[in-house]
Amino acid sequence: VKEKLSLLIPEDKERLSHIINNGKIEMMHTKEATLEEIFIKVTGRGLQ
Q: Which 3 state secondary structure label does DSSP give 7?
A: coil
Give the pLDDT confidence of 1-30 residue by residue, as tens digits: 788 898 889 999 999 999 999 988 888 898
What pLDDT is recorded for position 15?
Answer: 93
Q: What is the helix (H) or strand (E) element at residue 21, kind and residue range?
A: helix 10-22
Domain ranges of the chain: 10-43
CA distances from 6 to 17, 35, 48 (A): 12, 16, 25
Q: Please tell me the pTM assigned to this model.
A: 0.57
What pLDDT is recorded for position 45?
Answer: 87
Decide if pLDDT at 47 tops 80. no
Distance CA 43, CA 31 (A): 21
Distance CA 19, CA 34 (A): 26
